[in-house]
């Protein structure tokens, strides 16, 4: 107990500054000691003596003058206890005048500039100002700090170029990513900062080539250059860096072949060269890269065949060669690729059958072979792909849908299945005995499929996205579609469905409550999946789970009413009904062009303030087009093709000059009556519905598509 007290006193004393000489050498009487300690402590606070080095304190205070926001957790200006300020770390080796060795102010909302005086913290080992709103130029002096090991300025708004003369003899980690820096990467950093392990220039506006002296950074393990405008080929000296573990060069303008010398990087784990202009063949040198786990060269211009050493790499877990011009057969040695979990060979020129032995890649979780000329049926061995969760075979020559589905249903973990623009002219299996219990997304659009909505889909209780659009499916839309608990996207457009729109669709929980738990665990969010729709260009679902909540029933032969209860679908963001044979009043919908709507446009619509688009063209509407409120903003095209409409604007025929014949008027009267009484009942729901729909007009979803 006593010991502890003394230790406490000593530590108080230690914090006591030099001028209080009285504190020194008096250790005879404990009482005096305690007394003095108290005096000393009082003295300390009164005289504002320093517990951190005076120069360091000055540097910190001028730092906070330069950033023009207060730094939370820092004492007021006279306060000198800077070692206890938030984010300030002092060394604890010396008894007095502790030196600041760390400044960690990441994500504190700091604004303003940083001034050179920060470099006066000459004992600083760590400087982290990441994720603030700091702007201005990078002070040169910061890049000549003799003790600095970690410099993180990422995620700010710094401008100007990276300093040419850098001398950071101790630096290990340097991160200036995600700023607005410009100019070239030419710098002495690699000549004079030999201990650097991680260099991050990503997400800026650097241009020019990677300087050859990068080869002088002999300790380099991680090099991040992604998201700039860098060009040229990779310098050969890069391949001398034997400690390199991670290379991220994606999203630049690099070109030239992939150097064979890459095989020298025997420690490399991750290589990403996606979205560049690399060309030539992939060198067959991957045998040397025994630690390589991630290799992505998506969207380049690589050609030739798959290198055997790549397709038998025992360490590889992710391989992304999407969108190149690779050709030949897909040959893969899964016996040796024991770790492969994601294989993306989409959008290339591969042909021939699907490789039978792909099925021995037991851990394969994601497989994208879309947009290739692969052909034939799915081999039955695919049923062994028990880990498969995502499969895309869109836009291929693959056939035998029935066989395919019977095999794939054995892949119990399959949750995303995209088969658009393949299996052309086949029959959708209506009554097969199939079960896909975990299926969350099923997309088979634009395949000229015949048949009806298959009954087995009913068992896919987890279905969230169903897209059968652009086929030749017919029959009624079954009412059990409304029973799906999670369905938020239903695409049935451009088929030949007939009959009523089932009222149950207005009960789709996934369209009522749009809050989704996405993406589902383990689902890859960056695999572009071809939906197969769109005029000439593809719609890609690369943000699959972010699609707007949609009901697309357009371009069918549906008739009957549109239920006012559709107003319940508060989460719905896009509703397409155009080009059907719908009847009923127009109250409950907005883009109802090309239907058979009759009656008048309710004048109550004039009071609605949220309609940003409105289209009732090519119906059988009559009467006066409202001429107030938002109706003043709708173009003539919204009303054209309705023989009975009249009005004083939009070059419509004047209402006085065209009195309907008595006979006609009688006939309309009854229609009108029903229309208006229904309107009275439905208006609450309808307004909710319309605001939902108009939201999607506003955000461009409806206008963008089809």
228 binds ligand NAG (CB under 6 A): no
Q: Would you say 398 or 613 has its CB closer to ligand NAG?
A: 613
Q: Would you say 12 or 312 has its CB closer to ligand NAG?
A: 312
Q: Both tokens of residue 163?
A: 């300093």
Residue 344 to residue 274: CA distance in whole angstroms: 13
When binding is defined by CB under 6 A, the residue of 413, 498, 504, 565 that contacts ligand NAG is 413
Least Å distance, CB 176 to ligand NAG, is 11
For 596-628, b where at least 16 C-beta lie within 10 A, e where not — what string? ebbbbbbeebbebeebbbbbbbbbbbbbbbbee
Residue 551 to residue 128: CA distance in whole angstroms: 49
Binding letters toward ligand NAG, positions 455-474, x by CB under 6 A: ---------------x----
519 prior amide bond cis, ω within 30: yes
When binding is defined by CB under 6 A, the residue of 240, 267, 612, 627 that contacts ligand NAG is 240
694 binds ligand NAG (CB under 6 A): no
Q: Would you say 571 or 599 has its CB closer to ligand NAG?
A: 571
When binding is defined by CB under 6 A, the residue of 15, 170, 387, 683 that contacts ligand NAG is 387
- For the chain, the distance separating the N- and C-terminal CA atoms, rounded to the nearest angstrom, is 81
DSSP state of 335: T
DSSP one-letter string for 206-252: EEEPPPGGGGG-TT--EEE--SSEEEEPPPGGGGG-TT--EEE--SS
Q: Which one, of 385, 381, 345, lies nearest residue 363 by Cα?
A: 385
* 684: β partners: none
Q: Which one, of 56, 51, 58, lies nearest residue 17 by Cα?
A: 51
364 binds ligand NAG (CB under 6 A): no
Name residues whose C-beta falls within 8 Å of residue 429's C-beta, 6 or more positions apart in sequence: 401, 402, 405, 451, 454, 456
The residue range among 17-25, 125-133, 137-145, 621-629 that interacts with ligand NAG, by the rule CB under 6 A, is: 125-133
Q: CA 311 → CA 171, 332, 419, 494, 524, distances in Å?
A: 38, 5, 25, 41, 21
615 binds ligand NAG (CB under 6 A): yes
Least Å distance, CB 60 to ligand NAG, is 18
187 binds ligand NAG (CB under 6 A): no
* Cα 451–Cα 457–Cα 463 angle in degrees, nearest 5: 130
Residue 129 to residue 87: CA distance in whole angstroms: 10
Least Å distance, CB 672 to ligand NAG, is 25
128 binds ligand NAG (CB under 6 A): yes
Q: Would you say 675 or 702 has its CB closer to ligand NAG?
A: 702
Least Å distance, CB 213 to ligand NAG, is 4
Q: Which one, of 492, 479, 478, 443, lies nearest residue 463 by Cα?
A: 443
Binding letters toward ligand NAG, positions 485-524, x by CB under 6 A: ---------x------------------x-x-x-------
When binding is defined by CB under 6 A, the residue of 239, 488, 566, 639 that contacts ligand NAG is 239
The residue range among 74-82, 211-219, 603-611, 643-651 that interacts with ligand NAG, by the rule CB under 6 A, is: 211-219
User: Which parts of 251-280 interact with ligand NAG (CB under 6 A)?
Assistant: 261, 264
Least Å distance, CB 315 to ligand NAG, is 12
Is the CB of residue 204 less than 8 Å from the CB of residue 182? yes
Binding letters toward ligand NAG, positions 150-169, x by CB under 6 A: x-x-----------------
DSSP one-letter string for 356-391: GGGGG-TT--EEE--SSEEEEPPPGGGGG-TT--EE
Least Å distance, CB 16 to ligand NAG, is 17
53 binds ligand NAG (CB under 6 A): no
Residue 382 to residue 581: CA distance in whole angstroms: 43
Q: Would you say 43 or 144 has its CB closer to ligand NAG?
A: 144
For 385-405, b where at least 16 C-beta lie within 10 A, e where not — what string? bebbbbbbbbbbebbebbebb
Number of H helices, E strands in the chain: 8, 40
The footprint of ligand NAG on this chain (CB under 6 A) covers a number of residues equal to 51
SS (H, E, C) 138-186: CCHHHHHCCCCCEEECCCCEEECECCCCCCCCCCCEEECCCCCCEECCC
Residue 298 to residue 307: CA distance in whole angstroms: 16
441 binds ligand NAG (CB under 6 A): no
Q: Would you say 307 or 660 has its CB closer to ligand NAG?
A: 307
H-helix or E-strand containing 52? none
Q: Would you say 36 or 306 has its CB closer to ligand NAG?
A: 306
84 binds ligand NAG (CB under 6 A): no
When binding is defined by CB under 6 A, the residue of 335, 609, 633, 658 that contacts ligand NAG is 335
When binding is defined by CB under 6 A, the residue of 30, 165, 242, 649 that contacts ligand NAG is 242
Q: Which one, of 608, 654, 653, 600, lies nearest residue 632 by Cα?
A: 608
User: Which parts of 521-580 interact with ligand NAG (CB under 6 A)?
Assistant: 554-555, 578-579
Least Å distance, CB 648 to ligand NAG, is 22
246 binds ligand NAG (CB under 6 A): no
87 binds ligand NAG (CB under 6 A): no
Least Å distance, CB 665 to ligand NAG, is 30
317 binds ligand NAG (CB under 6 A): no
When binding is defined by CB under 6 A, the residue of 356, 433, 526, 667 that contacts ligand NAG is 356
Residues that bind ligand NAG (CB under 6 A): 92, 106-107, 128, 130-131, 150, 152, 173, 175, 191, 212-213, 216, 239-240, 242, 261, 264, 299, 301, 312, 323, 333, 335-336, 355-357, 386-387, 413, 446, 448, 470, 494, 513, 515, 517, 554-555, 578-579, 591, 593-594, 613, 615, 702-703, 706
């Amino acid at each position: 107990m006593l010991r502890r007290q003394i230790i406490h006193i000593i530590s108080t004393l230690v914090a006591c500054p030099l001028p209080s000489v009285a504190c020194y050498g008096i250790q005879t009487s404990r009482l005096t000691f305690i007394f003095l300690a108290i005096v000393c402590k009082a003295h300390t606070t009164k005289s504002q003596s320093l517990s951190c080095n005076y120069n360091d304190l000055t540097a910190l205070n001028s730092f906070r003058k330069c950033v023009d926001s207060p730094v939370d957790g820092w004492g007021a200006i006279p306060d000198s206890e800077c070692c206890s300020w938030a984010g300030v770390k002092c060394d604890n080796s010396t008894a007095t005048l502790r030196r600041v060795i760390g400044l960690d102010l990441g994500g504190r909302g700091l604004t303003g500039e940083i001034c050179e005086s920060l470099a006066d913290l000459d004992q600083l080992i760590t400087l982290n100002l990441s994720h603030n709103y700091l702007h201005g130029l990078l002070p040169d002096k910061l890049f000549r700090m003799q003790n600095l090991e970690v410099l993180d300025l990422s995620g700010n708004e710094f401008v100007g170029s990276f300093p040419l003369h850098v001398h950071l003899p101790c630096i290990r980690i340097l991160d200036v990513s995600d700023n607005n820096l410009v100019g070239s990467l030419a710098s002495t950093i690699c000549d004079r900062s030999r201990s650097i392990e991680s260099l991050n220039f990503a997400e800026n506006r650097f241009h020019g080539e990677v300087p050859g002296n990068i080869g002088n950074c002999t300790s380099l393990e991680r090099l991040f250059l992604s998201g700039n405008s860098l060009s040229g080929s990779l310098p050969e000296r890069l391949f001398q860096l034997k400690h390199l573990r991670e290379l991220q060069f994606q999203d630049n303008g690099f070109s030239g072949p992939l150097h064979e010398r890459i095989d020298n990087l025997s420690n490399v784990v991750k290589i990403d060269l996606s979205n560049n202009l690399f060309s030539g063949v992939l060198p067959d040198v991957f045998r040397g890269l025994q630690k390589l786990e991630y290799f992505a060269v998506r969207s380049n211009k690589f050609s030739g065949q798959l290198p055997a050493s790549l397709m038998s790499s025992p360490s590889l877990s992710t391989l992304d060669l999407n969108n190149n011009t690779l050709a030949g057969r897909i040959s893969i040695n899964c016996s040796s690729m024991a770790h492969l979990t994601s294989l993306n060979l989409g959008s290339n020129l591969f042909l021939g059958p699907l490789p039978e032995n792909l099925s021995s890649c037991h851990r394969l979780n994601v497989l994208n072979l879309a947009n290739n000329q692969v052909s034939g049926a799915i081999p039955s061995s695919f049923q062994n792909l028990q880990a498969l969760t995502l499969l895309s075979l869109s836009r291929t020559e693959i056939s035998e849908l029935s066989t395919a589905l019977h095999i794939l249903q054995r892949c119990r973990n399959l949750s995303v299945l995209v088969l658009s623009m393949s299996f052309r002219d086949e029959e959708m299996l209506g009554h097969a005995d199939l079960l896909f219990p975990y299926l969350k997304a099923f997309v088979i659009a634009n395949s000229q499929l015949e048949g009806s909505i298959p009954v087995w889909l009913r068992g896919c209780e987890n279905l969230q996205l169903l897209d059968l659009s652009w086929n030749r499916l017919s029959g009624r839309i079954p009412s059990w579609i409304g029973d799906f608990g999670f369905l938020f996207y239903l695409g049935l457009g451009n088929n030949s469905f007939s009959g009523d729109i089932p009222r149950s669709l207005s009960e789709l929980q996934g369209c009522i409550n749009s809050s989704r738990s996405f993406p589902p665990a383990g689902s890859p969010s960056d695999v572009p999946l071809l939906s197969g729709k769109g005029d000439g260009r593809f719609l890609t679902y690369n943000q699959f789970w972010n699609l707007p909540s949609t009901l697309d029933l357009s371009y069918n032969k549906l008739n009957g009413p549109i239920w006012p209860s559709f107003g319940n679908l508060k989460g719905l963001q896009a509703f397409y009904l155009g080009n059907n044979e719908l009847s009923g009043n127009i109250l409950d919908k907005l883009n109802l062009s090309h239907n058979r709507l009759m009656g008048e446009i309710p004048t109550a619509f004039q009071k609605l303030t949220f309609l940003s688009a409105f289209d009732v063209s090519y119906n059988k509407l009559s009467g006066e087009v409202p001429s107030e409120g938002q109706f003043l903003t709708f173009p003539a095209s919204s009303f054209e093709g309705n023989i009975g409409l009249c009005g004083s604007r939009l070059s419509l025929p004047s209402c006085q000059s065209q009195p309907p014949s008595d006979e006609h008027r009688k006939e309309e009267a009854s229609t009108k009556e029903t229309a208006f009484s229904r309107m009275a009942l439905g208006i609450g729901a309808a307004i909710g519905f319309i605001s939902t729909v108009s939201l999607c007009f506003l955000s461009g979803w409806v206008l963008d598509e089809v």
